[in-house]
Amino acid sequence: MQVLYVGYGVGGPMANLARYSGAGFVGINNNTYRIERARHHARDVGSRCRFMHGDYMRIPEGDDCYDAAFAIKSMPRAPDKAGASREALRVLRPGACFLGYEWCVTDDLDPENAEHQLIRNGIMVGNALPEIASMPEICDALHAAGFELPEASDRAPESDPGMPWYRALQGRDFTLSSIPRTPFGRALTNLTLRVGERPRLFPEGSRAVSTLLNVAADALVEGGRSGMFTPVFFFLARKPSRSDD
């Protein structure tokens, strides 16, 4: 199979899928730094992974050439979600699937609730998102592009209540990797960056970025706890088969 990864980041999921399957993968991304990192992560499966520099709104490939496609957290960034979906549909073979996980606001978001607006803004600013789509908006975009949508659901409520998706961001676990997220860890990181920025041990602005990421982490935790946000809205879309198939 030839599989397209729409808007890969540093290529982790693509490299893992290549390791555990016999498929060939092509990723499209418009960010040069990420392409370099992705090549590095996939060096052991490089012969089955191709990294394309390009815009997923205009995929530089012919029609009907991929057996499957997937996207993880990349559609919310598309200026025109139906247009991005149409491009994915165009390059897929008839009957092929397009699968995705997206960050979305849920029906629990109350637009009149000031706290909800603060949480939503914190997630957007801290993650450089121009907006966060609702689940129906993603479904509408896929339908408008011409996809069938056999499956679309928020997977967050299905997770173990004792291990919610935002738990790692809370800094409550007694593990080494949790320390930077505790109040003590955050204060130490802040101090280290403040001291280290002066002699240029760290690039100027490191502390500001760290502070911003903490805002994002807190907003994500609150978004998860209130149920107004999900990072795992799952969809399985299918390009209709040709009537003569």
Ligand X SMILES: C[S@@+](CC[C@H](N)C(=O)[O-])C[C@H]1O[C@@H](n2cnc3c(N)ncnc32)[C@H](O)[C@@H]1O
Q: Least distance (Å) from ligand X to the CB of residue 196? A: 27
C-beta closer to ligand X: residue 71 or 193: 71
Q: Least distance (Å) from ligand X to the CB of residue 110? A: 26
Q: Least distance (Å) from ligand X to the CB of residue 178? A: 21
Is the torsion defined by CA of 205, 210, 213, 215 positive or negative?
A: negative
> Shortest CA distance to 6 belongs to which of 91, 79, 64?
91
Q: Least distance (Å) from ligand X to the CB of residue 138? A: 15
- Judged by DSSP in three states, 232 sits in strand
Q: Which residues bind ligand X (CB under 6 A)?
A: 7-9, 28-31, 34, 55-57, 72-74, 77
Q: Least distance (Å) from ligand X to the CB of residue 123? A: 12
> Shortest CA distance to 181 belongs to which of 238, 237, 128, 220?
220
C-beta closer to ligand X: residue 3 or 193: 3
State which H helix or E strand residue 41 sits in. Answer: helix 32-41
C-beta closer to ligand X: residue 42 or 193: 42
Alpha helices by DSSP H, listed for 198-231, are 206-226
C-beta closer to ligand X: residue 155 or 172: 155
C-beta closer to ligand X: residue 28 or 97: 28
Residue number, nearest CB to ligand X: 9
State how far the Cα of 100 lies from the Cα of 155, in Å rounded to an integer: 12
> Shortest CA distance to 140 belongs to which of 53, 82, 186?
82
